[in-house]
Amino acid sequence: IWAALDCPGFFAWVVREGRHGALLGTMTGEVLRRPRAGEPCIVTAWPLERSGRKETAGVALFSAEGELLARAHQVWIVMSAPPGPAAA
């Protein structure tokens, strides 16, 4: 469950901002029901707030029928941009 919740928050910001390069700072969440082995699930994520290099996202895991199985709040830290090419 935690693995399913981990990365989608990153992609919520990639879709919105079109950039890459962030590290998960923290993730807190709640498992409401563990899915059965092989049970189809749906995961979704959405951007919440940005403050400087810190971005927060919400993530949720649902059953195929729409039952909320787990939810999490994530803090992502955007890596600084690499330096440009050296002046010749």
The string of pLDDT tens digits covering residues 6-48 is 989 888 887 666 666 889 999 999 999 999 999 999 999 999 9
Considering the domain 2-78 in this protein, what is its CATH number? 3.10.129.10
- DSSP per position, the chain: -HHHHHTHHHHHHHHHH----EEEEEEEEEES-PPPTT--EEEEEEEEEEETTEEEEEEEEEETT--EEEEEEEEEEEPPPPP-PPP-
How high is the pLDDT of residue 87? 46
> Could you tell me the pTM of the whole model?
0.81
The share of the chain scoring above pLDDT 70, in percent, equals: 84
Tell me the pLDDT band of 53, cut-offs 50, 70 and 90: confident
Mean of the per-residue pLDDT values of the chain: 87
How high is the pLDDT of residue 80? 72
HSE-CB of 53 using CA atoms within 13 angstroms: 11
